[in-house]
A and B are shown apart, each in its own frame.
Chain A
Amino acid sequence: MQPRWLDGRLTSAVASEFIKPNDRLSSFDRLEIYNRVYWFRVLDCLYDDYPGLRAILGERKFGRLATAYLAKYPSTSFTLRNLGRHLEKFLREEPHWVTPNEELALDMARFEWAQVLAFDEAAAPPLRPDDVLDTPAAKLRLRLQPYLSLLELNYAVDKFLLAVKKREADILRDEASNTFDSMPRAKKRKRRIRLPKRERIYLAVHRHQNMLYYKRLEPAPFAILCSLGKGRSVEQACESALRGCKEKDCSRRLQEWFHDWSALGWLCRMRQRGRAAG
């Protein structure tokens, strides 16, 4: 616990003003129990939600980042689920906590927060053919599922995270087995996973039948989805994304994409605007 209070007084002196000591613990000791439990709880939560960022930074650096982040952005939600929602913002404001991997760390933080959303964010009723039957593409506007995140990233964080999770599963399996004890000491050490190289990827992070998935997209369908998400009409979204495409090939591919997105339930009807009274 910090030795000094916000106004510069000794924390022990402040604690003794409002907390009774007992025969075993001083006022400061008793306050410190709560301080330790608080930090353990919130750091443990970020530790669980950001395994990829932890693997990039290493445990100590991750711990320093998490502490600084929580000091600036303490929880403002009744649920710990939302604890990481300002992490991307924090990394943009104070990138020195993740030097020299600023961009990679930012990509991973965005990717891991997208997974929190994909897990339990709301699902809207998916689009049905009847919903769009008589609407021309120029007027048709769709929205995307609230649980779907579209990420344009500079690193292949998806593959990296899979490798991290595989390593953690391997460690867990080894620890559950006696054969681990007979392995040479060097092999027991946590294998470091090579950081991903720079590579532009387009990811959709979503859920299907309540299981979490991430799917790589090509640039054109990614751009269409982003445009739809911004409220542009289907015609506008497709036109801008497919400039330069040969017409026959274009329509076939468009059909495929929209078919896939519908099958995954990503597309929803726009919300009906409430009618003005009177």
Chain B
Amino acid sequence: MPANRFNNFTELGIGIGLRVPHYRHILEKKPVVDWFEIISENFMVDGGRPLEVLDQILEQYRVVQHGVAMYFGSADRLNREHLKKLKRLVRRTNTPWLSDHLCWGSVDGRYTHDLLPMPYTFTAAKATAANIRAARDFLEVPICVENVSSYAEFHASEMTEWEFLSEVVERADCGILLDVNNIYVSSQNHNFDPYEYLNNVPHHRVGQIHIAGHSKFEKYILDTHDHPVRDPVWKMYAHALELVGKTATLLEWDDRIPSFGEVHNEALKANQFVEKELETVPA
């Protein structure tokens, strides 16, 4: 199950997000890292330092692209210029698969730069799946969609979030980037059982897993990516591995970013769960 058509039959191991404060360390020390995830939009530029750094990274490491602005769930059609730039980057990085979020974030050409939750309706699922198919056909690379963390639910919803995710990925015939931290955050904000979510998504479609830290406030939890991974999320990660098998996993740390070593060590904690899972798999 881990190497599947949604991650282009790769087994990449444990990766971390490529972030500006770590550029120097990575380029100078060349640490051993299974793979890096880049935010596609940060490199969809026409020149300068970002592309120079990317090319240097590509000489040494496997890179997977993760997007934040495709907005498959927006009512607008996909932005053609965005897709063209993204395709240029896909050719540059040779990313084995590409991910973006199951959300909306733009309307009438105005961008919120946020990952906004969708009403879980059949109409929305159909339109979103059509956008994902169109993007995959244009980009010619497998796509995994990521479940987002959310702080609001809609009266209009006709199903649960995990049913909606399943509906979309089945209709689009695409993969899932399963973010276990996002499931945990949303479960606390919306009072559902995160394990019911994990148990009820199509496991054979999971091409990648995200883990991250979050912040607790009095009345809700915010997905801040500025902490180590918390224990309940590690437990969910272990359960996810039982369900989907050893899968390319990435630690997200985007704010108050500590040293490269600290981030990498936190990511490598995932290995203990992976090894435990491998022990239980019959030979």
Q: Which residues of A contact B (CB under 8 A)?
A: 17-20, 22-25, 27, 29-31, 33-34, 37-38, 41-42, 74-81, 118-123, 146-147, 207, 210-211
Contacts and interface: CB of A to CB of B under 8 A. Distances in A.
A30 B52 CA distance: 41
Interface string B44-67: 111111111000000000000000
Contacts of A122: 46-47
Contacts of A80: 113
Given A27-B152, A76-B109, 4 more contacts: A19-B154, A19-B155, A121-B48, A123-B46
Given A37-B114, A78-B82, A79-B41, A17 B191 contact: no
A20 B157 CA distance: 10
20 contacts: A18-B156, A19-B153, A20-B154, A20-B155, A25-B219, A30-B151, A33-B151, A33-B152, A34-B114, A75-B111, A76-B111, A78-B106, A79-B44, A120-B45, A120-B46, A120-B48, A120-B49, A122-B46, A123-B46, A123-B48
Interface of B: 41, 44-52, 69, 79, 82, 106, 109-114, 116, 151-156, 189-191, 219-220, 222
Given A25-B219, A120-B50, A121-B48, A78 B41 contact: yes
Contacts of A24: 219-220
B194 to A, nearest CB: 16
Contacts, number: 93
Contacts of B151: 30, 33-34
A207 B48 contact: yes
A22 B189 contact: yes
B84 to A, nearest CB: 12
Nearest to B218: A24
A18 B200 CA distance: 26
Q: Is the interface of A mostly helix, strand, loop or mixed?
A: mixed
B110 A74 contact: yes
Contacts of B189: 22
Given A17-B155, A20-B155, A33-B152, A75 B113 contact: yes
A80 B45 CA distance: 12
Nearest to A77: B111
A25 B112 CA distance: 23
A119 B49 contact: yes
Contact of A78 (B48, B51, B69, B219): B69
A176 B113 CA distance: 32
